[in-house]
Structure 1
């Protein structure tokens, strides 16, 4: 058998094997309904990943390692840049948030969006992101468009000025959670690849 033929056969076997391990459900809408209920009960979680942000208007970009811990409504977010360039730290809840930039003193405000915009020139909707990273629409914004994949998980979402595309999921403790997320707005392009999930 020629090498090219062997290669094609191996690809077919791999795809078939994957399909057997993750069959397409008869009712994706029911899977989505049940999946939402499960995720909404997850109050405490941690993730580690690679985050890149491109500010379109300012023509600036940055990338680094993201650590996000969410505990009973309190979040600790660290965005660490390579080669010892420092890190951005965001800590807060629904009432108060503190931002610390490299080589600067911490600054406190009541809104993470306004705080980020005033200090960095751009803003991320942190209160919505803590839903989006789980693969859920946020109840804080109206949903303009919601598209599920063949397995009943969120694939595309439009809320506010943001388009969120879920490119890949990973099975964690019997649940499928996002592994690769693209988020786009008129001001920002955000890419998040989640390498590690922990939740309870």
Structure 2
């Protein structure tokens, strides 16, 4: 609507339009997460999620540093004693595969020699210049605290899912969830510590049948 059109509106019409807009904004602000289905014990689901050691997620990972920002598509395949993460896009500099077993972690890029390290954190820092706590993220992406690190402040939503927590100096904020029967699993989470900020948007979860 241009300025000349606004000037031709009568005062009652303008008042009605403003009231309608305010009502719409009020309704939108009142919208929140849908209540959980009745009869679900989320304490029990937390225990079940902790025991879930095989899954796959696909989505987008964004990293923001003081002097840089990048994103990549992520495909994370988790097995009981190993995992493989595929990164594609600017963050992965084309295509990057991170493979982890109890013996160590390996990073491979097309046309380059593989690089190995005892931990994913050391490997990421050496090759990318930044790192994320992958051993803890293994739990955070499922919406549960890591049992390998002390838990600081932890806030829960009314339905029992995590709203935020602090562990190992990191702040993890859960921005939204999605129903992946029989669970509610994170759909978007933000992870930050000092000058590192990461956002993970999970488009697809696959759980064992």
**Is TM (by shorter chain) over 0.5?**
yes
1:38 and 2:62 matched: no
C-alpha distance in structure 2 between counterparts of 1:131 and 1:63, whole Å: 22
Preserved contact between residue 25 and residue 151 of structure 1 (Cα < 8 Å): no
Shift of the 23–134 alpha-carbon distance from structure 1 to 2, 3 Å rule, reads: closer
Larger Rg: 2
C-alpha distance in structure 2 between counterparts of 1:60 and 1:108, whole Å: 25
What's 2:61 paired with? 51
Secondary structure of the residue that 2:113 maps to in structure 1?
A: coil
Q: Deviations over 1:81-112 (max 9, x none)?
A: 06x95122100123311012454211112111
Secondary structure of the residue that 1:115 maps to in structure 2?
A: helix
Shift of 1:45: 0.1
| TM-score under structure 1 length normalisation | 0.83
C-alpha distance in structure 2 between counterparts of 1:120 and 1:110, whole Å: 16
Map 1:100-115; keep pairs closer than 5 Å.
100-101=108-109, 103-115=111-123
Shift of the 69–55 alpha-carbon distance from structure 1 to 2, 3 Å rule, reads: same
Secondary structure of the residue that 1:151 maps to in structure 2?
A: coil
C-alpha distance in structure 2 between counterparts of 1:104 and 1:161, whole Å: 34
Q: Deviations over 1:147-190 (max 9, x none)?
A: 10111100111001200000100000121000000000113100
C-alpha distance in structure 1 between counterparts of 2:138 and 2:94, whole Å: 24
Secondary structure of the residue that 2:155 maps to in structure 1?
A: strand
| TM-score under structure 2 length normalisation | 0.79
C-alpha distance in structure 1 between counterparts of 2:137 and 2:102, whole Å: 13
Structure 2: runs of 5+ lacking an equivalent = 1-15
| Structure with more relative contact order (C-alpha pairs < 8 Å, separation 6 or more) | 1
Count of residue pairs the alignment pairs up:
189
Shift of the 61–103 alpha-carbon distance from structure 1 to 2, 3 Å rule, reads: farther
C-alpha distance in structure 1 between counterparts of 2:169 and 2:102, whole Å: 21
Decide which moves more: 153-162 or 106-115. 106-115
Q: What is the aligned counterpart of 2:157 among 133, 139, 149?
A: 149
Secondary structure of the residue that 2:87 maps to in structure 1?
A: strand
Secondary structure of the residue that 1:128 maps to in structure 2?
A: helix
